[in-house]
């Protein structure tokens, strides 16, 4: 498991190598903005100049995002990868990351990636339920993910899985099945984002016809809370929850649980459960004090103090104070009362996530 994520220089190749249009994708509605190979070196040089010195000690990766890199023509893959080689040789860049489809990772391809310094491969898994994949027009099956992950791990690559929730045919139980099958093959990290209805996607027609309804934001938080806890219990790092907010996304999102701080909402929901557990088991009086790590204070309070307001109402409290405990471990919460302290760590919730 990778404990510390690298500093990434992203190079976007929108829809490069895509063999078909997935149900949720609006590739035909967006003009091609892919950076050509001839511009890669200039882009990397400019990006390196902007990196702050205090982060210079972190691993640096060039990442080719936005399409299915290994489904591009072999010559195109080599053209892009070749442009990164001078930076790898000089040590200015440590490695390369690509994203691709699970059915475009044969042994020949892996050999090529390895030869050009690719360390990390993010696989567009989306779901491990074949019916969901079929209805989403993905063009591959869950078995392809199992085979690809095994090949990548045996080949020494760091493996990431990209998942989606709320696709047509998806249910909470099917999401749990997907997580269980993902955990069995032990990727190094996972990204999860909810399905959004994008302008120009085939899914837009189903949504407008009333055939498809996206998850609500409340449902999304509950699904992701369960998923995050399950993955944490399995020691699989969650690199991101939700899509990176962009002007294009905000313009094209017609429906669905888009939120610019989705991970914060999920973490806040976890800390709400932790606080509720402590209050249910040890509370006296109408005023309570919580202690937490500095990095967890906003999660304890919730967005716009939502957790505080909900806890006051649920337990008939007049005052809830949140204070920083510098020596407390990240992910822990302490309830301080006149009779003593009680505490809980999110890992204790993880143990009961099922």
Is the pLDDT score of 233 beyond 70?
A: yes
Residue of 16, 108, 7 lying closest to 54 (CA atoms): 7
Q: What is the average pLDDT across 277-305?
A: 90
Q: Is the pLDDT of residue 354 over 70?
A: no
Mean pLDDT of 116-143: 96
pLDDT of 352 higher than 80: no
Strand positions, DSSP E, the chain: 7-12, 60-65, 95-100, 118-126, 158-165, 189-194, 197-198, 237-241, 253-255, 287-292, 319-324, 332-337, 340-345
Is the pLDDT at 284 greater than 70? The verdict is no
Q: Which two tokens stand for residue 298?
A: 């906003």
Kindly report, residue by residue over 239-268, the tens digit of the pLDDT.
999 998 888 888 999 999 999 999 999 999
pLDDT of amino acid 55: 58
Tell me the C-alpha distance between 253 and 244, whole Å.
13
pLDDT mean over 224-243: 95
pLDDT of amino acid 56:
55
Average of pLDDT values for 22-41? Answer: 78
* Residue among 203, 180, 65 at smallest CA distance from 127: 180
C-alpha distances (whole Å) from 207 to each of 102, 131, 146, 213 are 28, 19, 31, 6
**pLDDT bucket at 53, cuts 50 / 70 / 90:** low
pLDDT at 125 over 90: yes
User: Tell me: the pLDDT tens digits for 76-117?
Assistant: 999 999 999 999 999 999 999 999 999 999 999 999 999 999
Query: What is each CA distance from 233 to 54, 332, 347, in whole angstroms?
Result: 32, 15, 7
Report the pLDDT averaged over residues 209-213.
Answer: 96
pLDDT at 221: 97
Buried b or exposed e, range 64-80, using 16+ CB within 10 angstroms: bbbbbbbbbeeeebeeb
In angstroms, the Cα distances linking 236 to 148, 160, 167, 231, 267 are 18, 10, 23, 5, 16
The full set of domains in the chain, from first to last, is 7-260 (3.20.20.70), 269-350 (3.30.300)
Choice among 153-167, 225-239, 278-292, 317-331 with the minimum mean pLDDT: 278-292
């Amino acid at each position: 498991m990778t404990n510390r994520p690298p500093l990434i220089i992203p190079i976007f190749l929108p829809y490069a190598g895509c063999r078909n249009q997935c149900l949720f994708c609006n590739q035909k509605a967006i003009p091609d903005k892919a950076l050509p190979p001839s511009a890669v070196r200039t882009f990397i040089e400019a990006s390196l100049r902007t990196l702050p010195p205090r982060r210079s000690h972190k691993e640096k990766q060039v990442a080719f995002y936005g399409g299915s890199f290994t489904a591009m023509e072999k010559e195109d893959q080599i053209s892009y990868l070749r442009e990164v080689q001078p930076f790898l040789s000089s040590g200015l860049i440590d490695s390369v990351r690509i994203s691709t489809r699970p059915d475009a990772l044969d042994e020949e391809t892996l050999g090529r990636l390895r030869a050009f310094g690719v360390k990390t491969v993010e696989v567009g898994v989306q779901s491990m339920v074949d019916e969901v994949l079929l209805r989403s027009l993905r063009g591959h099956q869950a078995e392809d993910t199992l085979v690809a992950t095994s090949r990548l791990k045996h080949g020494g690559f760091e493996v990431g899985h990209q998942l989606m929730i709320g696709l047509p045919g998806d249910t909470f139980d099917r999401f749990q099945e997907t997580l269980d099958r993902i955990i069995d093959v032990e990727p190094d990290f996972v990204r999860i984002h909810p399905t959004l209805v994008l302008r120009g996607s085939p899914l837009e027609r189903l949504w407008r016809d009333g055939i498809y309804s996206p998850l609500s934001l409340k449902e999304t938080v509950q699904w992701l809370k369960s998923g995050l806890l399950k993955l944490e219990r399995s020691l699989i790092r969650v690199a991101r929850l939700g899509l990176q907010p962009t002007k294009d996304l905000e313009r094209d999102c017609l429906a669905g649980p888009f939120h610019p701080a989705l991970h914060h909402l999920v973490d806040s929901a976890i800390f709400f459960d932790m606080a509720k557990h402590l209050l249910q088991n040890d509370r006296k009086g109408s005023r309570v004090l919580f202690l937490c790590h500095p990095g967890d204070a906003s999660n304890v309070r919730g967005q716009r103090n939502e957790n505080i307001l909900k806890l006051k109402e649920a337990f008939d409290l007049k005052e809830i104070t949140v204070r920083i405990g510098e020596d407390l471990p990240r992910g822990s919460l302490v309830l301080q009362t006149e009779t003593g302290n009680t505490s809980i760590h999110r890992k204790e919730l993880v143990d009961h996530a099922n």
